[in-house]
Amino acid sequence: MSFIVAIDGPAGAGKGTITKLVGEKLGLVNIDTGATFRCVALNMLQEHIDIQEEEKIEKMLNNINIEMHTDGKIFLNGEDVTHRIRENDVNGLVSPVSTLPVVRNKLLEVQRNIAKGKNVIMEGRDIGTVVFPNADVKIYLDAAAEERARRRVLQNQEKGIESSYEEVLKGIKDRDKRDSTREIAPLKKAEDAIYVDSTNLSIEQVVNQIVKIIENNKK
Ligand code: DC
């Protein structure tokens, strides 16, 4: 039997940071499902497969091997791609790739298998609605688009990348729209998910709030 915490929400709400910290505090394996979509996008770039080429994508997916190690490293077909999947070319392709039914079906199986027999905290867009509709605890982590853009600009500055607030905000709004209006598994709060708004909270406050929610919901 495994214990499953699902954390869904839009890009930039802090899911990655929060999931990692909560996982460490409670001894839960942290699974970032966005990374699985990023691996598929990277594999398409490596094999020069276009988003239109459904048959080639299907064939590629039949041979794909994605591993998530407990130290946070991600391997695609045996190669360490932990950093590579965060680069710009992958950022540009991943959202459209994540709308393809063939990709979502395959990754559903991959994501369920990764969690098998483990106590996990899994973050994504459709974990509480599609991947694990019977998760023990479901959280929807949100923040105002303006705040998410502000955080992203700061993160970029730390990495030495200059970016304009207006452009980043537009990118976030476009991505929200695409992620929440796509036909399959759109981003939406599960009816039984607990809504957490991180707009005016520090990382520590969000972590404490979520830890409390999980502890109160442990059966
Ligand atoms: O969380 P992220 O930015 O790494 O996610 C990358 C893309 O994958 C994002 O555009 C939405 C998509 N995604 C998804 O459709 N379903 C998930 N469970 C996780 C991510």
Residue 129 near ligand 1, beta carbon < 6 Å: no
Q: Chain-wide mean pLDDT for the chain?
A: 93
Which ligand 1 atom lies nearest to the CA of residue 178? 10
Other CB atoms within 10 Å distance of the CB of residue 139 = 31
Q: Which residue has the higher pLDDT, 190 or 184?
A: 190
Which ligand 1 atom lies nearest to the CA of residue 95? 10
Cα 33 to averaged position of ligand 1 atoms, centre (Å): 7
pLDDT value, residue 186: 85
pLDDT value, residue 69: 87
pLDDT value, residue 180: 87
Q: Which residue has the higher pLDDT, 166 or 1?
A: 166
pLDDT value, residue 97: 95
- Tell me the C-alpha distance between 1 and 162, whole Å: 47
pLDDT-based confidence at residue 217 (cuts at 50, 70, 90): confident
pLDDT higher than threshold 80 for residue 6: yes
Question: Which residue is it, tokens 């045996």?
Answer: 78
**Mean pLDDT of the 135-151 span:** 96
Residue 124 near ligand 1, beta carbon < 6 Å: yes
pLDDT-based confidence at residue 219 (cuts at 50, 70, 90): low
pLDDT value, residue 125: 93
Residue 37 near ligand 1, beta carbon < 6 Å: yes
Residue 94 near ligand 1, beta carbon < 6 Å: yes
pLDDT in tens, 93-119: 998 999 999 999 999 999 999 999 999
Other CB atoms within 10 Å distance of the CB of residue 161 = 10
Residue 8 near ligand 1, beta carbon < 6 Å: no
pLDDT higher than threshold 80 for residue 218: no
pLDDT > 90 fraction of the chain, expressed in percent and rounded = 79
**From 7, 37, 74, 172, mutation site for ligand 1 pocket: most ligand atoms within 8 A of C-beta:** 37
Question: Which residue is it, tokens 């796509």?
Answer: 182
Residue 152 near ligand 1, beta carbon < 6 Å: no
pLDDT higher than threshold 90 for residue 1: no
Which ligand 1 atom lies nearest to the CA of residue 99? 15
Cα 126 to averaged position of ligand 1 atoms, centre (Å): 9
Residue 34 near ligand 1, beta carbon < 6 Å: yes
Q: Which residue has the higher pLDDT, 217 or 35?
A: 35
pLDDT higher than threshold 90 for residue 34: yes
Residue 168 near ligand 1, beta carbon < 6 Å: no
pLDDT value, residue 175: 84
**Mean pLDDT of the 65-87 span:** 93
Q: What's the longest Cα–Cα distance across the chain?
A: 48
Say whether pTM exceeds 0.85: yes
HEC readout, the chain: CCCEEEEECCCCCCHHHHHHHHHHHHCCEEEEHHHHHHHHHHHHHHCCCCCCCHHHHHHHHHCCCEEECCCCCEEECCEECCCHHHCHHHHHHHHHHCCCHHHHHHHHHHHHHHHCCCCEEEEECCHHHHHCCCCCEEEEEECCHHHHHHHHHHHHHHCCCCCCHHHHHHHHHHHHHHHHHCCCCCCCCCCCCEEEECCCCCHHHHHHHHHHHHHHHCC
pLDDT value, residue 63: 96
Q: Which residue has the higher pLDDT, 141 or 174?
A: 141
